[in-house]
């Protein structure tokens, strides 16, 4: 198991030397007191998330925050940056292809049924060119580390990856509480992200846009688990946060109701699922969408970011083939490897998974958020048997991966610095150019020995440092 802070001899690795000096100077006891201050700041700002699965009571809670930053060297970041950009480019090329000629399917590189029978594939998008031919404008790539130079992609998020507000607020809290850590300019800044996000959205303006595009953030409303993030990003970008009732379509364009009369909307950063975008085109019972919006989108009157149907690229069954996409579309070797993955739809893989269930991590191919997942080594006999029956009944709905020795990063324990498993989600923006903020969201499994980092499953977050050259 790779310890990101200390080498095999117990010495401090170069990226963490500043952190080690800070810990020695401040002391664990004093930092524990500062942790309470950080929680108070999070509460005052209102940084919460909802846990839908909880029964009774208020599901809103503070996300656990650890004070000790996770650190990458400049050289490590260069490798990650190249690999993330490469992946985002290939995923968008794949989306354009499968909604047009389907060359990768005809070549037999990706099985057709994984796309055309996928619930995330929208036939209504076939033959349509979104502005700039970009489908996924914000790509969240979940990355795990297993060694000094071993970074692997766990999954891709091409629809509406969440969590970037925590990346920004984690840094804000750390700079407010420990400004001395940042005075030397040794840590790359992340505060350009909102400006870069807005620029990416502006670049997605549709053909009928006249003048400077008007951008809005479309939210399902305050009951959504990520509502804080929706409002936070709208505020930082200086754009309106809207719900479905604030928008309407007329004469092939989208409009926003304001106190000064209707205002035209050109670009919608939508944080609602495809099925709810437009009750006339998709789910007729949707109260979250705007009637006629999809027709206006298809007619070039408004842009939706990310494009409807982009989710077919982040299905866990399709994920297996992303390295092949990179070779097929870019003619390059993948910089970041996938985690070894078994598609239970494949008979040989299914046999292996069922025979080794207690040693594997099994996930729903269409799942997210840490739900619908089995961690074999930590599962009871009853849980293993329940999952076995689920897989046997619908093998195409599941993939399996080995239990990885995820790297650990230091966290602030009650009386000492302890190690916990971590993963990493950077946010890659795709417009006329690819933009990547030097940072991301580090999620940490706060329970000792746990591999589950999702906030909905008891995980926390910490600031992520990319060291300057």
Residue 61, pLDDT score: 66
pLDDT of residue 151: 97
181 token code pair: 């850590």
Confidence of residue 469 (pLDDT cuts 50, 70, 90): confident
Provide mean pLDDT across the span 406-421.
92
Identify the pLDDT of residue 53. 47
Under DSSP, is residue 144 helix (H, G, I), strand (E, B) or coil? strand
Output the pTM of the full model: 0.93
What is the rounded average pLDDT of the residues 288-315? 96
Q: What is the pLDDT of residue 225?
A: 84
Pick from 169-173, 415-419, 426-430 the range whose average pLDDT is largest: 426-430
Q: What is the CATH code for 340-402?
A: 3.30.1490.270
pLDDT tens per residue across span 223-250 = 888 899 999 999 999 999 999 999 999 9
Q: What percent of the chain has pLDDT above 90?
A: 80
**Alpha carbon separation from 13 to 21, 36, 181, 409 (Å, rounded):** 12, 29, 18, 12
Residues 424-432, mean pLDDT to the nearest whole number: 97
For residues 296-314, give the mean pLDDT.
96
pLDDT at site 59: 53
* H or E element at residue 105: helix 103-106
The sign of the CA dihedral 355, 356, 357, 360 is negative
Say yes or no to pLDDT of 56 above 70. Answer: no
Which among 205, 46, 200 is positioned nearest to 130, based on CA atoms?
205
Q: Where are the domains of the chain?
A: 14-206+302-334+405-466, 340-402
Which residues face 421 on adjacent strands? 408
Structure tokens at 42: 């999070």
Among 376, 392, 463, 393, which Cα is nearest to 424's? 463
**Poorest-confidence range of 148-162, 360-374, 395-409, 425-439?**
360-374
Q: Examine residue 145 and say whether the peptide bond preceding it is cis (omega within 30 degrees of 0).
A: no
pLDDT at position 54 is 47
Instruction: For residue 400, give Cα distances in angstroms to 151, 215, 238, 344.
Output: 19, 40, 42, 7
pLDDT tens digits along 117-138: 999 999 999 999 999 999 999 9
pLDDT of residue 29: 87
More confident call, 47 vs 232: 232
The closest of 469, 446, 121, 467 to 312, measured between CA atoms, is: 121
pLDDT at 370 over 90: no
Q: Is 353 helix (H, G, I), strand (E, B) or coil?
A: helix
pLDDT at 342: 94
Tell whether the torsion through CA atoms of 350, 355, 356 and 362 is positive or negative.
positive
> Of the ranges 5-14, 167-176, 366-375, which one carries the lowest mean pLDDT score?
366-375
Burial of 433 (0-12, 13-18, 19+ CB in 10 A): exposed
Question: What percentage of residues in the chain have a pLDDT greater than 70?
Answer: 94
pLDDT digits (tens, 9 = 90+) for 443-454: 999 888 887 787
| Class of residue 137 by CB neighbours under 10 A (exposed 0-12, middle 13-18, buried 19+) | buried
Give the whole-angstrom CA distance, residue 318 versus residue 61.
33
DSSP string, 3-35: BSSB-TTSPBPGGGHHHHHHHHHH-HHHHHHHH
Q: Is the pLDDT of residue 254 over 60?
A: yes
Query: In Å, how far from its chain's centre is CA 279?
Result: 27
DSSP string across 163-192:
-HHHHHHHHHHHHHH-GGGTTT--B---TT
- Asked whether 355 and 400 are in contact (CB, 8 A), the reply is no
Evaluate if residue 369 carries a pLDDT over 70. no
pLDDT-based confidence at residue 367 (cuts at 50, 70, 90): low
Name the pLDDT band for 49 (thresholds 50, 70, 90): low
Check pLDDT > 80 for residue 62: no
What does the pLDDT read at residue 459?
84
Strand order in 373-375's β-sheet?
342-343, 398-402, 360-364, 373-375
Average pLDDT of the chain, as a whole number: 92
116 sits in the region (left: phi over 0; alpha: psi -120 to 50; else beta) called alpha
What is the DSSP code string of 225-293? TTHHHHHHHHHHHT-EEE-GGGEEEETTEEEE--TTS-EEE-EEEE-S-GGGS-TTTS-TT-SSS-TTH
Per-residue pLDDT, averaged over 312-321, amounts to 93
Neighbouring residues of 347: CB distance < 8 A, sequence distance ≥ 6: none
pLDDT at 55 over 80: no
Q: C-alpha 243: how far from its chain's center? A: 22
3-state secondary structure of 62: strand
Confidence check: pLDDT of 58 > 60? no
């Amino acid at each position: 198991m790779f310890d990101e802070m200390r080498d095999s001899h117990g010495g401090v690795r170069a990226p963490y030397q500043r952190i080690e000096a800070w810990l020695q100077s401040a002391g664990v006891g004093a930092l524990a007191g500062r942790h309470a201050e950080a929680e108070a700041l999070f509460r005052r700002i209102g940084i919460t998330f909802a846990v839908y699965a909880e029964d009774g009571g208020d599901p809103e809670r503070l996300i656990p925050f650890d004070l000790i930053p996770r650190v990458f060297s400049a050289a490590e970041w260069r490798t990650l940056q190249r690999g993330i950009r490469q992946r985002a480019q290939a995923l968008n090329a794949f989306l354009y292809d499968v909604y047009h000629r389907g060359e990768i399917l005809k070549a037999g590189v990706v099985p057709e049924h994984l796309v055309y029978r996928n619930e995330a594939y929208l036939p209504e998008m076939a033959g349509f060119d979104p502005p700039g031919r970009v489908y996924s404008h914000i790509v969240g790539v979940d990355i795990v580390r297993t060694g000094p130079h071993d970074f692997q992609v766990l999954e891709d998020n091409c629809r509406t990856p969440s969590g970037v507000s925590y990346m920004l607020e984690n840094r804000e809290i750390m700079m407010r509480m420990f400004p001395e850590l940042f005075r030397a300019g040794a840590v790359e800044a992340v505060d350009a992200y909102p400006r870069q996000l807005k620029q990416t959205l502006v670049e997605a303006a549709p053909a009928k846009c006249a003048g400077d595009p008007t951008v809005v953030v479309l939210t399902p409303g305050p009951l959504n688990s990520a509502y804080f993030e929706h409002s936070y990003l709208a505020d930082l970008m200086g754009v309106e946060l809207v719900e479905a009732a604030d928008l309407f379509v007329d004469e092939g364009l989208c409009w926003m109701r304001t106190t000064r009369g209707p205002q035209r909307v050109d670009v919608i950063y939508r944080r609602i699922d495809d099925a709810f975008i437009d009750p006339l085109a998709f789910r007729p019972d949707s109260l979250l969408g705007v009637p006629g919006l999809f027709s206006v989108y298809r007619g070039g009157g408004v842009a939706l970011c990310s494009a409807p149907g982009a989710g077919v690229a982040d299905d866990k069954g399709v994920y297996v083939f992303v390295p092949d996409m990179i070779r097929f579309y870019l003619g390059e070797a993948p910089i970041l490897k996938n985690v070894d993955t078994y598609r239970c739809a494949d008979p040989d893989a299914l046999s292996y998974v069922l025979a080794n269930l207690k040693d594997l991590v099994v996930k729903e191919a269409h799942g997210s958020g840490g739900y619908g997942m089995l961690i074999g080594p930590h599962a009871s006999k009853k849980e293993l048997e329940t999952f076995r029956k689920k897989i046997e009944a619908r093998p195409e709905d599941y993939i399996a991966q080995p239990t990885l020795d995820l790297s650990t990063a230091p966290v602030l324990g009650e009386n000492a610095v302890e190690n916990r498993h971590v993963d990493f989600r950077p946010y890659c923006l795709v417009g006329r150019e690819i933009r990547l903020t030097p940072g991301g969201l580090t999620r940490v499994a706060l329970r000792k020995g746990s591999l589950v980092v999702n906030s909905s499953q008891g995980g926390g977050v910490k600031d992520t440092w990319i060291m300057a050259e």
